[in-house]
Amino acid sequence: MAAFSINAAGQCDYQTPNGTWGNSDWYKIIDIDAEQLTDPSLPKFTGEDGKSNAADTDFSNGTFETPLLLNGEPSGKTTTVTYHMCAFAPTMYNSAYTKKVEWGEDPSGKNNPCSLNDNTVYQNILWDKPGFIELSRMPASAEAPEVSRHGYIEINNIPAVERVQWAYSSTAWGRGVKMDVKVGDGEWQELHYEVSDLKTVDWYNYTTFSEQGYTFEELIGLEGEPDQLISLRWRIWDGTDGEGITTSEIDPATGEPKIWYKPVDPLAQWQTVRIHQIKIFSGVDGGSANSIDSEKAEMFYITRSGDELSLTANANIEIYSVGGNVVKQEYGNGISLAGLPKGVYVVKATADNGVVKNMKVAL
């Protein structure tokens, strides 16, 4: 989680200086700007403007290719970005700009003495810049009550990452986001999160400027290890792990700081998250980053445990009988063999990046 920085004049706790990104001495190999994502095949944000949320029917799943950069320019090679339950708004502005400039309204948080959230202080580089990808914050549906409908953006198997710069916003103040990292074929881990809805007292506010937008910089430090691959994921903030978050508010009964806690619940509705930009710097220049493509195939595979098959990435999974008929088909990162008659089957898994893996199984 990002370290706090303090605005001494107002005694306010901010999660970020909310300014500009730092400079890197390494190669910028990925530069995603939502303003440039104008492909009509991408699911479109149909809200009236950046003040409103996307419609529930706007969100969809898929992939798009983003250029690998060589000396800051497209190298002719690309890598795949996976999006899940996302809507693309290349022409829309952040909600604070929309409210203030287009509607003549005060952005939310304006009356809080700490925030001054009228964009006259700590003005972010996202202010007056269009383009965002909105992630679905929807709860599970009545038809599938155990299936999360939260959105995420994922980039897999990037070599020698030195730092990651990214920007997000929301549609009001005090709204958070989560960012995860995975090293090799390990488990996803939270790298950075901003808390939603923690506004316990006027002088203690997380994500005060989330309506305007925040910029973050994660120092990874693997620029000297070209064989070390990491995957990155940006998603909805969906609660607090562990023992919660210690606040500055004192519990009068104990004299100790209070603990703010909301259990993780990926099936509930949370707050809006919009990703505006993602920049990745590496010790491997984009023109020679063949490992992003070659390793992508090597890192995608199927494993079996009893009747359960697990995949290292989301894929379209088809199970064929020896006669060549599809007997079961699902999309996701796993499938169950339970209920199939005894016999021999072939499993075909086609990942979102086009890599295909086959596996023969006997029951």
**Cα–Cα distance, 117 to 125 (Å, whole number):** 15
Q: Which of 238, 263, 296 is the last residue of a domain?
A: 296
pTM: 0.74
**Cα–Cα distance, 187 to 210 (Å, whole number):** 29
Looking at residue 239, the DSSP 8-state letter turns out to be -
Same domain, 246 and 350: no
Which residues of the chain are modeled with pLDDT < 50?
1-11, 13-17, 119, 121, 202-203, 289-291, 294-295, 297
Name residues whose C-beta falls within 8 Å of residue 2's C-beta, 6 or more positions apart in sequence: 15, 16, 192, 194, 216
Same domain, 223 and 145: yes
Q: Which of 296, 312, 336 is the last residue of a domain?
A: 296
pLDDT tens for 232-250 read 999 999 998 777 777 767 7
**Cα–Cα distance, 355 to 68 (Å, whole number):** 19
**Cα–Cα distance, 190 to 178 (Å, whole number):** 7
Token code pair at residue 181? 């990292």
CATH number, residue 348: 2.60.40.3080
Three-class secondary structure of residue 298 per DSSP: helix
Same domain, 165 and 269: yes
Q: Which long-range contacts (CB under 8 A, 24 or more apart) does 190-194 make?
A: 190/241, 191/218, 191/232, 192/1, 192/2, 192/216, 192/218, 193/1, 193/237, 194/2, 194/15, 194/168, 194/237
Same domain, 39 and 116: yes
Q: Which of 197, 265, 207, 236 is nearest to 53 (CA)?
A: 236
Structure confidence at residue 353 (pLDDT): 75
Structure confidence at residue 156 (pLDDT): 92
Same domain, 279 and 356: no
Q: Which domain holds residue 315?
A: 301-362
Structure confidence at residue 7 (pLDDT): 31
Structure confidence at residue 260 (pLDDT): 79
Answer yes or no: are the C-beta atoms of 293 and 65 closer than 8 Å: no
